[in-house]
Structure 1
Amino acid sequence: MGEVKTVLDRVWRVDAAGMLGVLARRLGDLDVAEEALQDAVAEALRNWGASGVPENPAGWLVQTAWRKALDALRREANGRVKVAELAAAPPGPPSGDDRLAMIFACCHPALPEPSRIALTLHAVAGLPAETVAAAFLLPRATAAQRLVRAKRHLRDHGVRIVTPPPEEFPDRLPSVLRVVYLIYNEGYLASDTVERRELAREALDLARQVSALMPGEPEPAGLAALLELHESRAAARFDGAGRIVLLEDQDRTLWDAGLITSAMRRLARAAARDRPGPYQLEAAIAAQHALAPAYERTDWATVHKLYDLLVTVRPTPVVLLGRAVATGFTTGPAEALAEVDALGGQLSTYRLWHATRAGLLRRLGRVEEATEATRRALALATNPAERDLLARRLDDLGVSAP
């Protein structure tokens, strides 16, 4: 049973979005697809121990879920006609197109913006309701209700799980780009584990697909470039013990030069269209770090100017926090701390606000305040590697972590 659970866990992490996508596309109902897939997983738990794990576990789960969905439809009077139509063409293997179709469906304009993003994180990234709740700073019950309403909304409006025609792309693009970025962030530094590499790679693949789907739009290219730059550092982000290695301490020979080159080419093509947007500007900031031969030779003046531009198109507290970090390297920690403190009313529950503030206080020699800010950051952090980093910072300050 232990081996079966291990296999199922791996298959779910890697293929859940594709499996759900191919089923939802064929069935036309996300709820039915999700319930059937859960039933298939339960059957696998019951049977694989005796019969052995199939050669293609994801394919087995899709076909089993498909049969269970058809059985459920046969039990419904209004579903019997649909069964004959569906049974003639069973689903094929999961693909990237299925995941992309799922994202576009979940980002349908009929859904309110928060519901679009919550549903996509749940259905495409496979994030549970509690993780979605954490992403929106909501109680778990509220997030669960939002997911239920969103799925009902799709069903009631007859939204099909297909990639829409090109004329519908612009209305959905902002939400699509945002959820792909959020999916990558969950893979890059997961909520409940060190990282989810397969989720980060899937998000990068989705960003590239969206960019290829809309070659005339610079922002999808900007997002793809941004994720390539982040992904280029994946091999250097953790040490052999699974501990975070900060950017200034990373071995830059481990960075993927091919991904950096690809990102720079994408960014150059996007910039040539002279329609700057937030993802292009974030990618340009990341490029400054990627191209610097050493951390101490980072062009912080250019980074700060890029943040100034980013603030004009995305004036969020998190962007302002990033600009404050750059201020710390261009003007000084005292000026940066003033900028950070000005954001306290909006970011007091955000762990990185406290961590950033702690770093600046430490540079200013205000050790007691730095210690308290680090403790606050640790109390808010959920990622185990991030918690370990903050605990080590407390240790450096001569204080034991709680």
Structure 2
Amino acid sequence: QIKEGKLSFGRAVKNSRTLNCADYIMIPSFVQSHTHLCQHLYKGLAEDVSLFDWLKKHILPYEASLTEESIRLSCRMALYELMDSGTTVILDMGTFAHQNAVLEEIEKSGITGFSGNILLDRRVGRWSNDLDSYIDYSREIISGIKKSSRAKYALCPRFFPGITKRGISKILKLKDEYDLVLHTHATETEKENEFAFKNYKGSNIEGMNEMKMLSEKTVIAHCVHLKENDFKILKESRSTVCHCPSSNMKLGSGIADIERMQRMKINTCLGSDGAPCNNNMNQLIEMRLCGLLQKVKNNSKSMNAQNVFKMATFNGLPPLEMEKTNGTIEDGKNADFLLIKKNSVHSSPFDANPFSSIVYSIYPSDIEYVFSNGKMLKERGRVLVYDEKDLIEKKKRWLKDFLSHRF
């Protein structure tokens, strides 16, 4: 049963609502450790390009055009897709403006989310390189977040080539002051290593280590092009790597060696990245691709389904300091869980190998119930938080206006 948002194993309270779960399996809800809620509106508008063209020609100019109204719509559409496919905890990277709107939309959705405005001090596209103003904005946001809020602040330096050594020092001072999780990108492509070799004493990861950016509260998206010493550094620093297989495939970035990272006891988790480089925010797809790609990169015995399941439900929690409250079905833990149909055509026979069925077979439609902090977000296959038709109509109007100004 659920008491005050937590799981409680005992006698049911009289006159409480009950669900017959005989035909369902109950699992912890999913944790996505790298998302971009603010980019969801641009799904399908940045196709067939590599990372830096994707950023320069599409995403950075698109993000510059976001208004508070459009960023709220983008967040709602992304959050709908996330909860529909079973995700109730996210680590998100915002953009340069309207970050309060992102956090407000996370809070209203019912999920738990960490997100922050972008930090850099090298000019990128139309954006200012005034890091001091970005840090002042960060402080303003942090001061407005209540302790009880499900929407929390994460420190988000966008990527290593966007920040000077002096800028990194300022960012880390803010991190230490508020004990924040640090969320960034690294070695998504070889170009980031090339930048680091010119400006630091080694690779992207070695440069981050030199600047003391790595710790147990650092989450690094991608890590596709790691050098030999990088694996050792990630292990010793206890940093977490977020694997984004769909995004890495779509942008042609490569395949991260997650199997090797796990052999070395590097914590690895999963995320869908942004909708324009994926074009989904569905953790089921990320699990499936993670398992399959590691078999292609290594061998057929690589990455069993139970291991992938843990990446999707638990491994993203330690850097957020949530492993004691979420990630497993236990008495007293937060009631963040899913009820999945056992008897669908997709997954039958479910009981033969439940982990394999979850990782490789089920669809979002098989996730009939989604709970976050005890609140029901999805019931009998329908998301309760948003009006789907209303979101679609608003997206159509936004797209018509966007395309009329784009071309």
TM-score (norm 1): 0.30
TM-score (norm 2): 0.30
> Which entry has the higher C-alpha Rg, 1 or 2?
1
More strand by share: 2
More helix by share: 1
